[in-house]
Amino acid sequence: MKELQGKTAVITGAGSGFGLELARLCAAEGMKLVLVDVQADALARVAEELAAHHPMAQRVDVSSAAEMETLAAAVQARFGAPHLVFNNAGVGFGGLIWEARVADWNWVMGVNLMGVVHGVRLFTPLMLAAAQADPTWQGHIVNTASMAGMLDAPNLGVYNVSKHAVVSLSETLYQDLALVSDQVSCSVLCPYFVPTGIHQSHRNRDKDELAAPTPSQRISQVMVNKAVESGKLTAADVAKLVLDGVRERRFWLFSHPQALGPVGERAEALLVGRNPPDPFADKPEVGAQLRTALRRA
C-alpha cells in the first residue's frame, strides 16, 4: 500500500508509545485517523494535538468484544472500511509463571491477545468486502507482538504466552489472507526494549483487580523498567518501521534485528531435540543476578 493520502487508519493504543507516534506519521501522510485508547486523558491529548486532521477519538477497552464491535460499527459508518488497522494496545506483566493469578491472566490475555483478535475478526471482513468491490483497493493489518513472542525470557511467562499467541495469530492471518485476496495483507511487529509506557501499564488496570506483587513480580518490574528506559531506539523510530513495512508489504517487523541470534539458537535446539538454551548465555551476569535475587526472595 504505497499511497496513504486520504486513506483511513485505525490505531489502538494511540495515546502513547508506538500508537501515538504512528498516529503522528499517519496524520503527516494525510490519512483519516481513528484513535483508540483506554486511557481517556492520554487519548484527549493526542486528539487535541492532531485536531487539525479531524480525528475520530474513541475510548475503548480492546479486551471487550462489545466495545470493539461498537468501534467497528462507528468506523464503518463514518469512513467505510479502514485501509490500515494497527492492533497495538498492550500491557506488560512479569513474575514467575505459577504466581500469576487468574485475574492477571485474564487482564494480560484480554488486552494483548483478545484485543488483537477483536481487531482482526471485526475489521478484516470489512477490508475484504472493500477489496472485492474495488480491484484497486488495498488494506493492511499490523499486529503488535514482541520479541517475547519469539523467545521465552524467564520471569515474564504470562506476557510471553500472550505475545507468542499474537505471532501465531498473525502468521495464520497472513496465510489465510493469501488464500482469498491479493489486496489485503498483514504484518507482525516484534519490538525489543523501547522506551514506551508499557512497563507502567498497570496504571490502567482496574484497581479492584490489583494485589500486592510477589517478590518475583517486583524483581521483574525493576529489571524491565531498567531495560525499557535504557532503550536507544525510540517509539518514533519503530512507528517509521511500521509505516515502511506497510508500504513494502513486509510481514516481519523487527525493531532490533541484531537480537535475533537467540531465536536461531532456539530453533536449532528444537530441530535437534536439545533442551532450551540458556537465555543469558551472552549476558551471564544478568542471569546470575536474577537467580540470586529470586532464590533470596
Domains and CATH numbers, the chain: 8-260 (3.40.50.720)
With beta carbons less than 8 A apart as the criterion, state whether 118 and 65 touch: yes
pLDDT at 199: 52
Please give the radius of gyration of the chain, using alpha carbons only, rounded to the nearest integer. 19
pTM of the model: 0.94
- Read off the C-alpha cell for 68: 470493539
User: Phi and psi at residue 148, in whole multiples of 5°?
Assistant: -70, -10
Q: 38: Cβ–Cβ under 8 A, 6 or more apart, which residues?
A: 59, 60, 61, 62, 89, 204
With beta carbons less than 8 A apart as the criterion, state whether 149 and 166 touch: yes
pLDDT at 231: 73
CA distance 249 to 187: 7
Place of cell 543476578: 289
Q: Which residues are tagged catalytic?
A: 159
CA dihedral 41, 50, 57, 109 (to 10 degrees): -70
Q: Where are the alpha helices (DSSP H) in the chain?
A: 17-28, 40-49, 65-79, 102-108, 115-133, 157-180, 215-229, 235-248, 261-272, 284-296
For 54-82, give one letter per residue: b (16+ CB within 10 A) or e: ebbbbbbbbbbeebbeebbeebbeebebb
Place of cell 490519512: 31
pLDDT at 223: 86
pLDDT at 200: 62
With beta carbons less than 8 A apart as the criterion, state whether 74 and 36 touch: no
Maximal CA-CA distance, the chain: 63
Q: Each residue's pLDDT tens digit in the chain (297 positions)?
A: 889 999 999 999 999 999 999 999 999 999 999 999 999 999 999 999 999 999 999 999 999 999 999 999 999 999 999 999 999 999 999 999 999 999 999 999 999 999 999 999 999 999 999 999 999 999 999 999 999 999 999 999 999 999 999 999 999 999 999 999 999 999 999 999 887 766 566 666 676 677 889 999 999 998 888 878 777 899 999 999 999 999 999 999 999 999 899 999 999 999 999 999 999 888 899 899 999 999 987
Could you tell me which of 181, 162, 297, 198 has the C-alpha nearest to residue 249?
Answer: 181
